[in-house]
Amino acid sequence: MKVYTKKALNEFHQSLTYDDISLIPTEISRIKSRTEALTNCSFLGLKLSVPVISSPMDTVTGIEMAKELSNLGCLGILNRFDSSLDEVLSNGKSVRGIKGVSISVTTGLKTIEKLVSCNYVICIDTANANNKEVLKKTEQIRKKFESAKLIVGNIAHGSTLQQLEDVGADAVRVGIGSGSVCTTSIQTGIGIGQVSSLLNTYFARENKKLKIKIIADGGIKSPGDVVKAIALGADIVMLGRMLSGTRETPGEVIKYQGQLWKKYRGSASFGVKMRNEFIEGEETMVAYKGAVQNVINAISDGLKSSMSYMNCLNLNELRKINAFAILSNSSYLERLPKM
């Protein structure tokens, strides 16, 4: 079996995603217990306990989710469709527990000024960062507000990373078409596997010595996928599906056939747009999961356990991992629990 480095994975002849690869422990671990592994990190000036940021989807991040994630040492990006955003803007000062807010390309400078003055992380919430209007908006905000913390997205490839940093982006969401309720790839034929997207972007940053942060956005189904994303070079992971269905997500709990459910939908679904135009997202129901703290704890535990296998005391060491396997379909299936 060949052991692949990040460079070899990046040059692989096919597009790869998380289910296609696995980490390989190749060293004797010096870690006695997984409790020694540290999952804290710094992201855009914020100190986080776990490298998790929530997707600004209307069925994922409302004000309750944003506040609870902050309590748990993560970052919640309040979606721009949430009515609670009015409270954030009219307050005139930062709302306790809210650290990140999403905006559209058309959001006015007066609104942005309020957000910057409250020291919020600002996410320009678009499907395609490779657009002149997104670049124009990012540059406009950066020139007007030098201290703004700006996230843009999304990209699937690192070819435009230099341009995004040049106009003032602090971080970029990487991933197109890989979300569980995203139909962009089906509708447009655009997008590559998340492993390939992350690696291409990572090497673009390394080769040009850029400072822009990488957010792995899409395709993450389990704590193991979070580990893989960080090991591939991501600074932080953005979650939608994994956080969906929790108590803190917007929307009511629905009981159907004895099971509890909550609604989950893509940002470009009909339920969000509510008008007859091109749709790139689906709506579904997900099983109710209880408190989001359970999900974050599972991610933290998975990270720490993996780091103990991989001889990594912190996330920076995990990002230096350079031993991966490419799995056959049978290899992947063999790893799944048999019931």
Per-residue pLDDT averaged across 122-147, rounded?
96
CA–CA separation, 17 and 326 (whole Å) = 10
Query: For 117-126, b where at least 16 C-beta lie within 10 A, e where not — what string?
Result: ebebbbbbbb
**Backbone φ, ψ for residue 219 (5° rounding):** 80, 0
The verdict on whether omega for the bond into residue 154 sits within 30 degrees of 0, i.e. cis, is yes
CA–CA separation, 90 and 159 (whole Å) = 39
Active-site choice (41, 74, 123, 182): 182
One-letter amino acid of 320: K
Instruction: Write the pLDDT tens digit of every residue in 66-121.
Output: 999 999 999 999 998 877 777 667 766 778 889 999 999 999 999 999 999 999 99
Q: Can 118 be counted among the known catalytic residues?
A: no
Q: Helix, strand or coil for residue 236?
A: strand
Place of tokens 């006015």: 108
Q: How far is CA 130 from the centre of its chain?
A: 18
Instruction: Write the pLDDT tens digit of every residue in 201-256.
Output: 999 999 999 999 999 999 999 999 999 999 999 999 999 999 999 999 999 999 98
Domains, the chain, in order of start with CATH, read 6-244+292-328 (3.20.20.70)
CA–CA separation, 88 and 223 (whole Å) = 32
pLDDT at 320 over 70: yes
CA–CA separation, 99 and 53 (whole Å) = 11
